[in-house]
Amino acid sequence: MKVTILGGGAWGKTLAQLSQQAGHNTRLWLRSESLAEALVGGDYIFSALPMKAVREIAYRVQAESLYQPGTLLVSATKGLELESEKTEVSTAPLKTASQVWEYCCPSLTVAALSGPNLATEIAQGLPCATVVAHPDPAISARVQQVLAQERFRVYTSPDRIGVELGGALKNVMAIAAGVSDGLGLGTNAKAALVTRGLAEIVRVGVYLDGQLETFYGLSGLGDLLATCNSSLSRNYRVGFSLGKGQPLSEILDQLQGTAEGLNSAQVLSQYSAHLGLKTPITDQVTALAKGTTEPAAALKALMGRSLKPEQLV
């Protein structure tokens, strides 16, 4: 197979490594290179672009007719977009990466890939599992066969939106978990935060038509556990540094790559406020990112919420 990976960050490079290990003719595309040359004659496209670049590159792919109808693209971007064009007719202004690809390139077949996949560990050959999702099981099975190998186990799911939302929203919770550790709040506090974070993910995910069981699988709970407990996660490191009192501008200057949770938090907070959805952890992460609150004040706001029964949905 000829496989093209869009995006030269850590995840893009790791996907390219996996593709090469599986014996495929693999091309890793960087912005300095020709997009047309990278995509010509390709069997599969994997997009590991930052969320902020997805719409721009997708429009280029469409405008320059760089794919054949039915070409399979696998989106591996864990982010959210709120802005949509005035000409775009949609009942869901909040979009995942695969939805942006579908809108910009309507003749593409788009699947999604997500799970507890810390790129550094995979690049080291450590075992892990992931999920590829598409409503048509035959399509997700094709991707499964392309990537699956001894130390990279690939499951399939029909719930593309749920798989993507699990991956995007857990980044927000990873920032919160990092703040908790940075403040030195202990294991009990972090366990409570992550558990309530999962409830918040489920609440939003089910509202946006994700399937409940998806959020208790690899792309939901699995990814949440990995990202909230590892310094390999950029989102966790951002939160940890915030908890230590470091200004966000300095944190981002030192960060290699993108912490998608910062943008996803602001997108979700704005969206949920419009709809009346309760997303208290997301709202506090957004306030931290905007500099309108401090970590200790965010903790006080969460702990001071009104008492209620525990609800997991």
* DSSP per position, 265-280: HHHHHHHHHHHT---H
Across 49-63, 140-154, 226-240, 290-304, least confident range: 290-304
Q: Above pLDDT 90, what percent of the chain?
A: 87
Strand, coil or helix: what is 224? helix
Q: Which architecture characterizes domain 162-303 according to CATH?
A: Orthogonal Bundle (1.10)
Span 154-167, pLDDT tens digits: 999 999 999 999 99
Residue 183 has pLDDT above 90, yes or no: yes
Neighbours of 52 (CB within 10 A): 13
pLDDT tops 80 at residue 124: yes
8 Å CB contact between 198 and 170: no
Q: 33 pLDDT exceeds 70?
A: yes
Query: Catalytic one among 86, 170, 244, 300?
Result: 170
CB atoms within 10 A of CB 208: 18
Contacts by 19-26, CB closer than 8 A, 24 or more apart: 19/46, 19/146, 19/147, 21/149, 22/146, 22/147, 22/148, 22/149, 24/146, 25/1, 26/2
Is 170 catalytic? The answer is: yes
Torsion region of 58: left, alpha or beta (phi above 0 gives left; psi -120 to 50 gives alpha): alpha
CA distance 57 to 78: 16
Q: Give how far the C-alpha of residue 76 lies from the chain's centroid of Cα atoms, to the nearest Å.
A: 7
Domain boundaries, the chain: 2-158, 162-303
pLDDT band at 200 (very low <50, low <70, confident <90, very high): very high
Superfamily of domain 2-158: NAD(P)-binding Rossmann-like Domain (3.40.50.720)
**Residue 94 confidence (pLDDT) above 80:** yes
**Count of beta carbons in the 10 Å neighbourhood of residue 307:** 4
Is the pLDDT assigned to residue 90 strictly greater than 60?
no
Query: Looking at residue 307, what is its pLDDT?
Result: 76
- What pLDDT was estimated at residue 86? 47
- Give the predicted TM-score (pTM) of the model: 0.94
Per the prediction, the chain carries an average pLDDT of 93
